[in-house]
Amino acid sequence: MNQSAERPHTCPSTPQPLVKARRITKRWPGVVALDGVDFNIYAGKVNAIVGENGAGKSTLMNIISGTYSEYEGDVLLDDVKVCFRNTSEAARCGISMIHQELNLVPHLSIAENIYLGREPVNRLGLIDYRKMHADAALILNRFKFTEDTHKLVSELRVGQQQIVEIAKALAFDIKVLIMDEPTSSLSENETQILFEQIEELTSKGVGIVYITHKMDELRRLANFVTVLRDGKFIGEYKADGVSTDEIIRLMVGRDRKDLFVKRKHPKGEKALELINFSMRDTENKNRYKVKDVNLHVAAGEVLGIYGLMGAGRSELFEAIFGVHKQLCSGQIRVSGKNITIKSPKDAIKNGIALIPEDRKNDGLVLGMDIGCNISLASIKHVLKFGFLHYPSEEAVAESFREKLSIKSHSCRQIVGNLSGGNQQKVVLSKWLLTNPKVLLLDEPTRGIDINAKNEIYKLIDELAARSLAVVVVSSELPEIMAISDRIITICNGCITGEFTSDQFTEEAILKASLPCHQS
Ligand SMILES: Nc1ncnc2c1ncn2[C@@H]1O[C@H](COP(=O)(O)OP(=O)(O)OP(=O)(O)O)[C@@H](O)[C@H]1O
Ligand SMILES: [Mg+2]
């Protein structure tokens, strides 16, 4: 493709768009998030938006779906200019968005969330709860989601919340559905069901916008690909006319960076050991979320934990980190010494750091700036005579901002205003600063763009080279095979297999993680 970065590419002979966004510019203090961007949504087609973290993908979609009403440029629906003041107005015109960072109300039930603001009413004008719960269950059934619809959203895991968010969009007649990284916490099965739902929607003429960092999803779903880079529109391409390498080159404006190659490091003593470690289920004390786990990880080693969604991976991490002390039994050893962990504070004191999967709830204070968030868990690094020393905090934050390329105008930018992927990098920085002996990483590259993923793999490798013991949970098999020295598979809370690097094959690891494999 002969393509100059200055002249955006547009597809020849395309159908008439249902939605046209023209010359959209969005400014935030200190940042131009979008700079004269054009975008099309076509009836019955999937237009995938790609771009590095902070490229402006979510901002553009938040404008089209009515979340942001102040911007320059025009949005046209069926050739008529629209200016939505909020998401309800957009929804009334048939435009619905599934957000990247979930937008649910935690203390409302599943059904109440799905129908929030659009509750079905009976003849007397009162909310028809029975119908609301029955209808909600019907939509959720399509995803084989069997939780009681009266359950509070706060009691659901991230993946389940994601399905509720999707159900919320599917509950109404829509012309346009915008999905911002919808599969980032879905299981393989749930993802397949979502793809079938998307195919059904397009066959009914619904226009889909699909934001993703996953190239295989783009290949499977997209009819068109729109590339954004640094807030600029680079081009719109027919999906079957552009290769994956070309897309990546257009995204980053240069050739793909070298792929990550793991180095071999000498292993030290056992940094973390679990002996007959178990955790009971919160709801049913006779059941186990983690059962009789025996494992170790040495200093300088990267241990991968692979299991399907719901296998007990996140629960294992939370148990080690002291989140559910009263439910746990068995022994934890750090550097050969038996320790008792009653709370996360004890875990941090003993050199264990956990980077959680759900960064919005567990990892960040969204109203605080990058510097404060990074120093939050290791305040002693930035104190002078007992007071917070801003220059030290700033120096530390700046070094991480550079190392992990956190896209922001300064380390005083509020974290809630960063793009999703850049928020994840702040969580990583925060825990790396605690100088842990053992680092527990739960899905560390969720929502991270292709280039930054490589940076994080290199960082994990570097940490291992500096004798840190790293345990990584990931649902991406190629990723976990690339970064681990050894992989353990878990299923229903039990260890079902162990592989050294010379035994890594996708087939063997996947097989060991499936429920039918267990005796
Ligand atoms: N509320 C806000 N206030 C200030 N700046 C913002 C705000 N929201 C987004 N930004 C900035 O706008 C730019 C684009 O962000 P956006 O969230 O659209 O990126 P993205 O392409 O969705 O990235 P990701 O892949 O990480 O989700 C970023 O530089 C971000 O920091
Ligand atoms: Mg985004």
Question: Does residue 90 form part of some domain?
Answer: yes
Residues 332 and 464 in one domain: yes
Please tell me the predicted confidence (pLDDT) of residue 387: 64
Has residue 469 got a pLDDT over 80? yes
The domain in which residue 136 lies consists of: 102-172
Residues 8 and 86 in one domain: yes
Please tell me the predicted confidence (pLDDT) of residue 5: 46
Please tell me the predicted confidence (pLDDT) of residue 499: 97
Has residue 377 got a pLDDT over 80? no
Q: Whose CA is nearest to atom 18 of ligand 1?
A: 56
Poorest-confidence range of 66-75, 353-362, 392-401? 353-362
Long-range CB pairs of 66-71 (<8 Å, 24+ gap) are 66/90, 66/91, 66/95, 67/97, 68/26, 70/26, 71/24, 71/25, 71/26, 71/34
Given pLDDT bands bounded at 50, 70 and 90, which one contains residue 256? low
Please tell me the predicted confidence (pLDDT) of residue 385: 63
Given pLDDT bands bounded at 50, 70 and 90, which one contains residue 3? very low
Residues 346 and 298 in one domain: yes
CATH of the domain at 225: 3.40.50.300
Q: Whose CA is nearest to atom 6 of ligand 1?
A: 417
CA of 106 to the centre of ligand 1 (A): 24
Q: Taking residues 286-311, report their average pLDDT.
A: 90
Please tell me the predicted confidence (pLDDT) of residue 476: 84
Please tell me the predicted confidence (pLDDT) of residue 471: 97
Of 226, 255, 284, the one marking the end of a domain is 255
CA of 422 to the centre of ligand 1 (A): 9
CA 310 centroid distance within chain? 16
CA of 468 to the centre of ligand 1 (A): 32
Domain count, the chain: 4
Please tell me the predicted confidence (pLDDT) of residue 511: 87
CA of 422 to the centre of ligand 2 (A): 9
Please tell me the predicted confidence (pLDDT) of residue 370: 93
Of 239, 255, 271, the one marking the end of a domain is 255
Residues 374 and 444 in one domain: no
Q: Whose CA is nearest to atom 12 of ligand 1?
A: 33
Nearest atom in ligand 1 to the alpha carbon of residue 423 is 26
Which ligand is in closest contact with the Cα of 50? 1
Question: Does residue 159 form part of some domain?
Answer: yes
CA of 180 to the centre of ligand 2 (A): 7
Residues 317 and 370 in one domain: no
Per the CB < 8 A criterion, the answer to whether 314 and 355 are in contact is: no
Give the residue with greater pLDDT, 330 vs 263: 330
Q: Taking residues 500-510, report their average pLDDT.
A: 91
Poorest-confidence range of 10-14, 131-135, 280-284, 470-474? 10-14
Question: Does residue 358 form part of some domain?
Answer: no
Nearest atom in ligand 1 to the alpha carbon of residue 26 is 12
Residues 20 and 63 in one domain: yes
Given pLDDT bands bounded at 50, 70 and 90, which one contains residue 27? very high
Please tell me the predicted confidence (pLDDT) of residue 1: 42
Q: Whose CA is nearest to atom 1 of ligand 1?
A: 417
Question: Does residue 212 form part of some domain?
Answer: yes
Nearest atom in ligand 1 to the alpha carbon of residue 213 is 25
Residues 274 and 339 in one domain: yes
Which ligand is in closest contact with the Cα of 229? 1
Has residue 63 got a pLDDT over 70? yes
Q: Residue 16: is it exposed, middle or buried by C-beta count within 10 angstroms (0-12/13-18/19+)?
A: exposed
Q: How many CB atoms lie within 10 A of CB 102?
A: 20
Please tell me the predicted confidence (pLDDT) of residue 381: 65
Residues 42 and 53 in one domain: yes
Q: What are phi and psi of 130, to 5 degrees?
A: -60, -45
What does pLDDT average to over the chain?
A: 88
Please tell me the predicted confidence (pLDDT) of residue 251: 87
Poorest-confidence range of 2-16, 149-163, 487-501? 2-16
Per DSSP, the three-state class of 331 is strand
CA of 213 to the centre of ligand 2 (A): 10
Q: Whose CA is nearest to atom 27 of ligand 1?
A: 420
Of 396, 412, 435, the one marking the end of a domain is 435
Give the residue with greater pLDDT, 492 vs 451: 492
Question: Does residue 357 form part of some domain?
Answer: no
Residues 374 and 482 in one domain: no
Q: Taking residues 99-111, report their average pLDDT.
A: 88
CA of 57 to the centre of ligand 2 (A): 6
Q: Taking residues 38-49, report their average pLDDT.
A: 97
Which ligand is in closest contact with the Cα of 213? 1
Please tell me the predicted confidence (pLDDT) of residue 510: 85
Please tell me the predicted confidence (pLDDT) of residue 516: 62
Has residue 176 got a pLDDT over 80? yes
Q: Whose CA is nearest to atom 2 of ligand 1?
A: 417
The CA distance from 358 to 101, in Å, is 9
Residues 347 and 448 in one domain: yes
**Which protein residues are within 6 Å of ligand 1, measured from CB?**
28, 31, 33, 51, 53-59, 100, 407-408, 417-422, 449
**Left if phi > 0, otherwise alpha if psi is -120 to 50, otherwise beta: which for 260?**
beta
Q: How many CB atoms lie within 10 A of CB 307?
A: 26
Q: Whose CA is nearest to atom 24 of ligand 1?
A: 53
Q: Taking residues 190-210, report their average pLDDT.
A: 92
Question: Does residue 317 form part of some domain?
Answer: yes
Tokens of 213: 């960092």
pTM of the model: 0.77
Residues 106 and 242 in one domain: no
Has residue 419 got a pLDDT over 70? yes
Q: Taking residues 219-236, report their average pLDDT.
A: 95
Please tell me the predicted confidence (pLDDT) of residue 475: 83
* Ligand 1 site-directed mutation target among 28, 213, 218, most atoms within 8 Å of CB: 28
Given pLDDT bands bounded at 50, 70 and 90, which one contains residue 11? low
Which range has highest mean pLDDT (43-52, 358-367, 390-399, 456-465)?
A: 43-52
The residue type at 197: Q
CA of 447 to the centre of ligand 2 (A): 8
Please tell me the predicted confidence (pLDDT) of residue 255: 58
Give the residue with greater pLDDT, 459 vs 335: 335
Residues 467 and 412 in one domain: no
Per the CB < 8 A criterion, the answer to whether 341 and 322 are in contact is: yes
The set of residues, in sequence order, having a beta carbon less than 8 Å from that of 89 and lying 6+ positions away, is 66
Please tell me the predicted confidence (pLDDT) of residue 16: 86
Which ligand is in closest contact with the Cα of 405? 1
Nearest atom in ligand 1 to the alpha carbon of residue 59 is 18
Question: Does residue 9 form part of some domain?
Answer: yes
The set of residues, in sequence order, having a beta carbon less than 8 Å from that of 329 and lying 6+ positions away, is 276, 277, 278, 279
Give the residue with greater pLDDT, 288 vs 9: 288
Question: Does residue 513 form part of some domain?
Answer: yes
Q: Taking residues 95-119, report their average pLDDT.
A: 90
CA of 315 to the centre of ligand 1 (A): 31
CA of 58 to the centre of ligand 2 (A): 4
